Structure 1
Amino acid sequence: MPENTESTTREALADFLRRRRDALSPEMVGLQTGQRRRTPGLRRDEVARLANMSTTYYERLEQSRGPQPSAAILAGLARALRLGPDERAYLYLLAGRTEPTVAKPDGVVDPELLSVMRAVAATSPAFVVDDLATVTAQNELHTTLFGLVAGLPGWEGNMFWCWFCSGRWRRPVLNSAEHQEAIGRNYVAYLRVIVAERGYDTAAAALVADLRMASTEFTRMWDEHQVSRAPAPMVSVLDDRVGRLDFDYALMMSSRSRQRLFSLHAVPGTPTQLRLTRLSYVLGDAVSTHR
């Protein structure tokens, strides 16, 4: 980072901290005000104590000096200064750090992604996964083509398990063995990223260990240590009602959680979109018949 840019960022961080400190009263953070105060908000030593850091270190931050704050320091400051989501993200941005995302409780679907999934329900099969790629929600088109996966116990609802072990997502696929190999490699390269993002924690390690035990194909690809965030290559699916469907993948990351939305979009120049529309009508007629 150029020196003048770094200096400006440090000054912006220092000013932001001062402004947020001045905006807080002792009562707002549970402190008593027994003596007359010379500052309109909290004192520096009070913020430092609430953030679990030394007063000297905090003073240097407000003076545009000192080292780059660690993620732990920033988390303490965000908590001490009662920062909202946007303010917290801005704090990490000024400090040159990536804000940690927050995992949703099991079974809770990120509302941002759920809204998008529903918005494309008539035209694109789509599903939401948690940060270990276990499916938490599917729209009707995706469920129709690949079967119900969301909510299945254990790893049965995990997208990688569905490809390498149970075969749930592989059975309707028309791609050649060579192309399926490419899709599998892409999945494994993406899992490498997920595992690293989680810091190789117990749950991530357990998923990898179980996949290695259950699939020699996965083990071979995992040992190659390829890394990629790119969505999987084009996949072709056979549906008994409308015929062949050719899809490209798109990936959307949530801005507020570790969840992701995968959506399948018709490959241009193919009759896929027309056939998806026809499939939507078939599904709608089936629902009407059962009412």
Structure 2
Amino acid sequence: MNSGDRQALAAFLRHRREQLQPSDVGLVAGARRRAPGLRRDEVAVLAAISTDHYERIEQARGARPSAEVLGAIARALRLTLDERDHVHRLAGQAPPARHRSQGYADAGLMCVLDALAPHVPALITDDVSTVVAQNRLNVALLGPLAGERGLRRSFVYRWFTDPALRSRYAPEQHEQLGREYVADLRVTSGARPDDPDVRALVDALTAESAEFRRTWARQEVLPLRATRKVLHHPEVGRLELQCDVVVSPPSGQSLVLFRPQPGTGTAERLQLLGVVGVQDLAPAAGA
């Protein structure tokens, strides 16, 4: 590992920040700006770090940023995978494996996520269901998932260990959804049998959830591509949704769309959720 080039890293981040407009990342421009591009505090919010922390990185001051922070900044600035890897090298770190998100979200999927934000709840996950980005309507629907740490970043982990999240879904669907999530996880486990992150997730779920142990023992293998879900939201009521999964080949990450089922009143309730459910939410960067 080399020592990196903090000045070059600062210059690169500053240049990328100045090229972005608020509308490029799903923000409202607001009052007239004195400088081009995003403000540092806006990048910090999008990356879920403090403004002071981001300023220190862009000014080449302080401790070397962690891989997780670099991934979150790459997500906030809508960097490509190659640009993300470049940022890690400038920081003196080996780029993470392409299948490891570490806070990074595929730039192409982020563009779609931003475009969907006003009307369709959507989130981005990696292949172990780590939620790396949500639009604000998805945060209003499921709660903030992308900002979690450790195993709690994984939706499948939360499904089997977090009753509050699970309670939003219709009880009659719980068993079938659990089977779908586990069958999808087994696809990843088979593709990377020696990966420590995959192994840690499976081991933790095996230790903590009897339901997961029973479901894992079924040996079902099927990638998750589409499913129908019924949610009971505490503010807007019953939501009948078609969840479609769009996979990006370069990163292996998935965009999960929560489309309203026609004729159910769900579209109107999502419009209401867009008003009452996101009023107190900061910009968020959850299936």
Q: Shorter-chain TM-score: which interval?
A: 0.5 to 0.7
Task: Give the corresponding residue for 1:118.
Answer: 114
Specify the SS of the correspondent of 1:233: strand
Q: Deviations over 1:159-204 (max 9, x none)?
A: 101111123431211242xx21011101100111111222442221
- Aligned amino acid, residue 276 of structure 1: L
Specify the SS of the correspondent of 2:144: coil
Asked if residue 211 in structure 1 is aligned to residue 211 in structure 2, the reply is no
1:278 CA displacement = 1.8
Aligned residue runs from structure 1 range 119-268, under 5 A: 119-176=115-172, 179-231=173-225, 233-268=227-262
Contact 2:131–2:154, Cα closer than 8 Å, also in 1: yes
Asked if residue 108 in structure 1 is aligned to residue 104 in structure 2, the reply is yes
Measured at CA, do residues 218 and 105 of structure 1 come closer, stay the same or move farther in structure 2, by a change above 3 Å? closer
In 2, Cα distance between equivalents of 1:232 and 1:210: 26
Structure of greater Rg? 1
In 2, Cα distance between equivalents of 1:183 and 1:105: 24
Task: Give the corresponding residue for 2:32.
Answer: none
In 2, Cα distance between equivalents of 1:229 and 1:105: 19
Structure 1: 4+ residue segments shifted above 3 A: 230-233, 283-287
TM-score when normalising by structure 2: 0.60
TM-score when normalising by structure 1: 0.59
Contact 2:140–2:273, Cα closer than 8 Å, also in 1: no
In 2, Cα distance between equivalents of 1:282 and 1:105: 31
Task: Give the corresponding residue for 1:274.
Answer: 268
Query: Which one scores higher on RCO, CA 8 angstroms, separation ≥ 6?
Result: 2
CA RMSD between the two structures: 2.3
In 2, Cα distance between equivalents of 1:127 and 1:219: 27
In 1, Cα distance between equivalents of 2:98 and 2:280: 39
Mind listing any 5+ residue stretches in structure 1 that lack a counterpart? 1-84, 86-100
